[in-house]
Amino acid sequence: MSVEVEEKMLDTPENSARPISAQGDEVAKFRAAVISKLTYAVGKNPAAASDRDWFLATAFATRDRIVDRWITSTRQTYSEGRKRVYYLSLEFLIGRLLFDALTNIEMLETARSALGDLGVDLDRLRQVEPDAALGNGGLGRLAACFMDSMATLSIAAYGYGIRYENGLFRQMIKNGWQHEYPEDWLSFGNPWEFERPEVYYDIGFGGSVEAIAVGGDRKKQVWHPAETVEAVAYDTPIVGWRGRHVNTLRLWSARAADPIRLDAFNQGDHVGALVNQVKAEAISKVLYPSDATPAGQELRLRQEYFFTAASLHDLIRRHVDSFGDVRSLPDKVAIQLNDTHPAIAVAELMRVLVDENDIAWDEAFDITVRTISYTNHTLLPEALETWPVPLMERVLPRHMQIIYQLNAKHLERVRTEFPGDDALLGSVSLIQEDHGRRVRMGNLAFLGSHSINGVAALHSDLMTTTVFKDFYRLFPERMNNKTNGITFRRWLYQANPGLTNLLVEVCGPGVLDDYSQLTKLEALAGDSALQDRFMAVRRQNKVALARLIRDRLDIKVNPGALFDVQIKRIHEYKRQLLNVLETIALYDAMRANPAKNWAPRVKIFSGKAAASYQMAKLIIKLANDVAKVVNDDPTVRDLLKVVFLPNYNVSLAEMVIPAADLSEQISTAGMEASGTGNMKMALNGALTIGTLDGANVEIKQHVGDDNIFIFGLTAAEVEARRAAGVDEAESIRNSHHLGEVLDAVGSGVYSPDEPDRFKPLVDALRYHDYFLVTTDFDAYWDAQRKVDARWNNRSAWWQSSLINTANMGWFSSDRTISEYAKDIWNVPVRTIR
C-alpha cells in the first residue's frame, strides 16, 4: 500500500480516535461558548475568522471551563489549611496546552464535534498553537509532567519559574549547520495565562550591606541594593486528570522599576533613556543565555536569583496570610529545588528569616533545612553550578555574607566530628578554593535541604560514591532515590490515541486511571491477532511521521522500515556520535553486500546543541552530511535513510515517539541521571537499545532481559577503564568497522568541500575518547545486528513491543509524585483509581 493511500486513510473519520462520545447538549453549549469568545474576546466575525482566531476562541472557551475548577481547588486548599508544595524550576516544558486541557477535562470529543459543526477542524487548530518556549529538554519536561501529576493527585502545589519571551532558541538547519533564532512564541499572545500586575516583588541586585546596632552587642545586617527589578506574576492553570483539581504555574516576568529615564529622553538620548529597562527585562528574555562571557555569567546568576527570590517572597506572603507565623513554614510549606538553578533559595530564605523577621541564626537554619529539599540531575561535577566569588559579592553581597557564615559553622562541625581530615573539609566546603574561588551551588543545596534525591536507582547510588560522596558521609539519612516518571495523559492518551483505544478495549477502561492495569496486556502479548492490531496502530503513526518528514525535509521514507530514533539534547555523553558512526558502518556494509537480508532502517535524529557547544554542533553537521550522502545513494534505496528533524520540541516529540520502533538510549554508562525519553518510547511500544545507565537499568528490570538490547561497559567498568587509561588505538585496531569509518570521516568522504571539517571529532576519538565511543562501538554494532534479527522475526518483535508497553505502568509520574509526597513533602495524595 502506498504512503499516499495510507495518509488518506489516516484522515478519515473511521480512523479518528474518539474514546468518549460527545453529548449533544454539551456540544451545543461549547459551540455557543466558542462563538461568544470569537466575537467578544477575539473580536472577529466567524465568516472572516482565521485558524488562529478559532484557536484563540477555543482556548478561551476551554480556559473558562478550567477556571471554575481552579477557583474551587484554591478555595478548598485555603479552607482546609493544607500544606502546599512549591516546585522551583528554571524550566517548564509544557508544550501545547489545548489538547492537554481538553483531554484532562474530558471534553476533547465535545470540542471536536462543536467545532466540526462550525466547519472548523480541531486537529488543524492544534497545529496553530505555538509550543511554550519555557524549557530545553528532560529537566523542563519532567517539571511539566510533575505539575500534571500533582494536580491529578490533588496535591496543593505551585510551580515557579520564569516567563521567557524567547525561550532557548528556534533551531534551523542551514547547509547542515545549526543556526539559532529567537523563539517568538508570545508574539500573538498566550490565551492560557492570566497576567497579575498587582502581584509583583522588588528584587534587588548589587549595592552594599550595612551593620546596624540593635541593642547590646547585637547588630542587624541591612542590604541596600543598588538596583531593583520588579518580578511580575503570570499564572497558568494546570488541570489534573478528569479535571478534579487545578494547580497554578506562576511564572515571573522582569520589569524595570523605572522603565524610562525621562530626563535623558528629553535631552535627546532616546536609546540611553531605555538602558535600565533593557537591562532589567533581559532577565526574562532568553533561557540559558551563553555564559561564555562575564556578562553572560552575570545574567544567568541574575535570572536564578530573580525567580527564586520572587517565588520565596510570594510563598512566604501566602503562608503568613494563612497561618500568621513564618516559624511554622516547615509544617505548611515544602519547597522542592529542581536542580541547582534555584539553590540560592537556601541563602535567600536565611536572609528573609534572619534579616526581615529577626529570627535567630540557628532557628532560621533549622526552618530552612526542614522546608527545602533538592533534586539532583547530574553526575557530572562540571554540571554542578559554581559561581565566582567576586561575581557573587558584587551581585548578591548579603547572600555572600550568609554563605560565608553558613560555611564557617558547617566546617566547624565537620572539623569537630572528623578532626584532621583536611581533604574532607575541602570537599564539603561551600567555597571551592582551587582554580579561582567559587561558590558551589550543589553543596549549598545539599547543606540547606533535609532531603536530597537522585532520579534513578543507579544515579542515586552513584551520587553516594561520586559528586556527593563526602556529603553522604556527613548526612547519610538525607539521601534517597525518586526514579523519574512521565505523565501518560500526554505521552499515551494524547500522543497516541489509536494505541489508547486499543488498550482500553483489551485492558478495560480502568487503564485510563490505574496504570497498573497495563500489565493485563502481557499475558496476551503472544496473540497474533493482537500483534496485528498493535502493529497497525504503529503503522498509522509511522505514516503520519513519514508525511511530516517529507513535508519538512523533502525526504521520502518507508513506513515499513524500522524507525530507529534518538531524540534528545545533543551532547557528547549522550553519544549521538556513536549512532552516526554506526550508521556509516551500516551504510558501508549495505553497499558491500546489497543482496543480504538487511532490516530496512530510518535513522531519525533530533535535538538542539547549546549555542556555544562547538563539538555538539559539529556532530549535528556530521549527521546531516551523512544523511545527504546516504539519502542520495540509489544503492541503498529504501534500505537506509537518515533524517535530522530540526527544532525539537514537545509537539515534535508527540509525533515521533508513537512512531518509534527502536529507542536509542546509548549514553556513556554512569553519566545519564535518568532519562524520560526512554520511558515515553517504551510506553508506546518501542524497544530500547542502550547502556546500563540511568533509568535503563529499571526499564530492563521491568520489561525483562529478552525485551531490551543492552550493550557496552557498565558504570563501574567505565570508571575502571578511565582510571587505567583509555586505549583508543587498541579499540580501533580490534574493530572490523571503526577504523575505516574514522578514516572516511577524517579524510573528507562526507565533507568533500572541506576535508578537515570533522578532524576535531576524529582526533577526540583517537586520542582522548573520554566518552568511550571507541570502546563501546563493536558492542553497539553487535547489539544493532540483534535488533535486525528481532525485526526480521515479526512475531518476536511485536511480542517484545507489547511486553514493553505492558510493563511501563510503574514509570508513571503519578507513582513518582506519590513517593515525593510520602517520603519528602509529607502531604497526602488522592488516589485516582
Contact indicator for 766, 692 with CB cutoff of 8 Å: no
Contact indicator for 330, 370 with CB cutoff of 8 Å: yes
Contact indicator for 818, 829 with CB cutoff of 8 Å: yes
CA atoms within 13 A on the CB side of 804: 31
CB burial readout 744-780, b (16+ within 10 A) else e: bbbeebbbeeeeebbbebbebbbeebebbbbbbbbeb
| All residues at 6 or more sequence positions from 278 whose CB lies less than 8 Å from its CB, including other chains | none
Tell me how crowded residue 50 is: count the other CB atoms within 10 A of its CB.
Answer: 11
Strands 227-239 and 246-256: antiparallel
3 state SS for 315-332: HHHHHHHHHCCHHHHHHH
CA atoms within 13 A on the CB side of 359: 20
The residue whose grid cell reads 555574607 is 401
Return the bridge partners of 336, or none.
Answer: 87, 373
Tell me how crowded residue 282 is: count the other CB atoms within 10 A of its CB.
Answer: 17
Element (H, E) at 678: helix 677-683
Dihedral through CA 397, CA 398, CA 400, CA 406, nearest 10? 170
Angle value at C-alpha 328, between 325 and 332, nearest 5 degrees: 115
CB burial readout 617-655, b (16+ within 10 A) else e: bbbbbbbbbbbebbbeeeebeebbbbbbbbbbbbbbbbb
- Terminal Cα-to-Cα distance of the chain (whole angstroms): 42
DSSP assignment letter at 452? E
Residue of 562, 573, 574 lying closest to 606 (CA atoms): 574
Tell me how crowded residue 188 is: count the other CB atoms within 10 A of its CB.
Answer: 13
Query: Coil, strand or helix: which one is 20?
Result: coil
Phi, psi at 248, each rounded to 5°: -120, 130
Element (H, E) at 489: none
Q: Where are the alpha helices (DSSP H) in 684-830?
A: 696-703, 715-724, 728-734, 738-747, 759-767, 773-792, 794-806, 813-820
Q: Which residues are catalytic?
A: 377, 568-569, 574, 676, 680
Contact indicator for 790, 670 with CB cutoff of 8 Å: no
Tell me how crowded residue 804 is: count the other CB atoms within 10 A of its CB.
Answer: 27
Give the separation between CA 385 and CA 308, rounded to whole angstroms: 15
Q: Where are the alpha helices (DSSP H) in 576-676?
A: 576-592, 614-631, 650-656
Name residue 692's amino acid.
L
Tell me how crowded residue 687 is: count the other CB atoms within 10 A of its CB.
Answer: 23
Is the CA virtual torsion 592, 595, 601, 602 positive or negative?
positive
Tell me how crowded residue 358 is: count the other CB atoms within 10 A of its CB.
Answer: 11
